[in-house]
Chains A and B, each alone.
Chain A
């Protein structure tokens, strides 16, 4: 068996890549994909700890995280589409209508 620590290290790397996508990229769709990557790495930790303790509760939590991610993506992409309709851009730096 691969120790849980290896899986933790892998998902830490994936999470940091997701964080850098949110911080470095200015395309709103890429930012959303990076958020999906972060959720996915958290799911990997849930499943590996479920394996370590022999309990299924972690897998159930992954199921709920997937549902929330699906809802979040649907609403977020709808927001992006309606921003694109009114501003013709999805660059997050250009969406500053609320700025004083």
Chain B
């Protein structure tokens, strides 16, 4: 770890601070729309980390799929439900909050113990760095070695799509129930 460049560390530190504060903003904001926008910032910063780590294809997918599609879906549902203001919730379980804070502190301690004490550090720097992480390299691996999981993914997406339509679609029975309620 002798080649630890000071400018690289500075870039990493600034991006990490932005990522952590965006995540904290998501956690602490009272308005769901602000939470979603903070999460978009966090996803953008993580996409930058992917570029630094030599994964431009994954970074592009992160921006389009996560920051684009998924967060637009979130914002759409928040605005559809009109649930951006959070109503004050009564606490049915009074011991739940202190206990979860204790558990979070425990988890933080254990993860940091593991991270600090792991002993394989530093990149091993692969041989073919020029083509590493390029879309063609990722695509070749995806369509040669991982072709079966890739096909299974299409079934997963189809199942999710059918499930969403069944869950939210207006069926004949539901429409009849609504009409009889109105009468």
On whether the beta carbons of B81 and A90 are closer than 8 Å, the reply is yes
The 8 A CB mask of A1-39 against B (1 = contact, 0 = none) is 111111111101111111111011111011011101100
**A69 to B96 Cα, complex, angstroms:** 28
Residues in chain B within 8 A of chain A (CB atoms) = 1, 3-4, 8-9, 12, 16, 19-20, 23-24, 26-27, 32, 35-36, 39, 42-43, 46, 49-50, 52-55, 57-58, 61-62, 65-66, 69-70, 73-74, 77-78, 80-81, 83, 86-87, 89-93, 96-97, 100-101, 103-104, 107-108, 111-112, 115-116, 118, 120-128, 132-133, 137-138, 141-142, 146, 149, 153, 156-157, 159-161, 163-164, 167-168
> Of A19, A59, A91, which is within 8 A of B55 by CB?
A59
In the complex, A54 has a CB within 8 A of chain B: yes
On whether the beta carbons of A74 and B161 are closer than 8 Å, the reply is yes
**A82 to B49 Cα, complex, angstroms:** 37
On whether the beta carbons of A48 and B26 are closer than 8 Å, the reply is no
Beyond A13-B20, A66-B66, A75-B160, whether A37 also contacts B127 by CB under 8 A is no
- Most chain A beta-carbon neighbours within 10 Å: one of B49, B127, B149: B49
| A-B CB proximity, top 6 nearest | A54-B126, A23-B100, A71-B160, A78-B167, A12-B111, A78-B164
> Of B70, B138, B161, which is within 8 A of A59 by CB?
B138
Interface of B is mostly: helix
On whether the beta carbons of B107 and A16 are closer than 8 Å, the reply is yes
On whether the beta carbons of A66 and B104 are closer than 8 Å, the reply is no
